[in-house]
Amino acid sequence: MILAIDVGNTNMRVGLVRGGDVTAARRAPTRGNRSAAHLATTLGALLAEDGVALTDVESIFVASVVPKVTAALQELAAERGIRLVSADHSTIPIAIRVDNPAAVGNDRLVNAYAAGLLHGMPVIVIDLGTATTLDVVAPDGAFLGGAIAPGLGLGLEALSEHTAQLPQVALELPERAIGTDTVSAMLSGAVLGYFGLVKELVRRIRAEMGAAKPKVVLTGGLSALSWAQSIPSVDIIDPLLTLRGLALLGRELAARPKQPRVPE
């Protein structure tokens, strides 16, 4: 059994991989899972919901943007004898045409790899998480770079934490752009404002790509919310894109011919 783990700044998503694709997915907060012992407890509880145990896992494929959790996973895998593969610029089979490939977030590369294979190229991937990222895949499948902005939830949290009178609000789609109270005004600025941000970035990226005409794929934790379908310019919503990319990477590496062992 393969376990796909997407470690984000706020949440970690865990997917069971059977038959080359994700068959079940669970979520847990990233905070509190920065040691091997805590991870073992969390993963054990999540797997138990699907009737399996950590002892059933043969391989873990992980895309992580939190180094402490990455290190804890490495320790856990070593203790349990589980093969661990970190998805990064050296393991993901995709050309990376940026100034410093090693500095690109692993989740962004996995998303680009998965979107190209699953939804066609060229493609723009919008990931709505703690940060909002737009990643661009060329017609030949290469990662070209993209844009990074603060996430929707992060923006609302910043308003609440750094002002004296603005409250914490839940992410919802407001009915009107003209808010008639503080909450509706904040939602208008945050949610509808993000619609404008996404629309303008997609427009500019498409203009820079010329005749390529990329599709737009939406993913990330917030992509599963009902109002995500209202975001302009989006062609496909795939909330599990990162986990599915890790599953594809596992299948790709398994299909490669094994290198002959060199005698010592």
Most confident of 103-107, 159-163, 182-186, 259-263: 103-107
Classify residue 94: in a domain, yes or no: no
Clarify whether residues 126 and 236 are in a common domain.
yes
Number of domains in the chain: 2
Classify residue 91: in a domain, yes or no: no
Boundaries of domain holding 135:
101-240
- 127 catalytic per annotation: no
Classify residue 263: in a domain, yes or no: no
Clarify whether residues 158 and 217 are in a common domain.
yes
Classify residue 254: in a domain, yes or no: no
* Backbone angle region of 89, left / alpha / beta, with phi > 0 → left and psi within -120 to 50 → alpha: alpha
Clarify whether residues 68 and 175 are in a common domain.
no
Instruction: For residue 180, give the CATH number of its domain.
Output: 3.30.420.40
Segment 159-179 mean pLDDT: 85
Q: Is the pLDDT of residue 160 over 90?
A: no
Distance CA 52, CA 263 (A): 39
Clarify whether residues 142 and 23 are in a common domain.
no
Q: Which of 6, 50, 56, 107 is catalytic?
A: 107
Clarify whether residues 163 and 81 are in a common domain.
no
- Give per-residue pLDDT as tens, 107-145: 999 999 999 999 999 999 999 988 899 999 999 999 999
Classify residue 212: in a domain, yes or no: yes
Clarify whether residues 202 and 72 are in a common domain.
no
Residue 258 banded pLDDT, cuts 50, 70, 90: low
Clarify whether residues 54 and 116 are in a common domain.
no
- Give per-residue pLDDT as tens, 190-226: 889 888 999 999 999 999 999 888 999 999 988 888 8
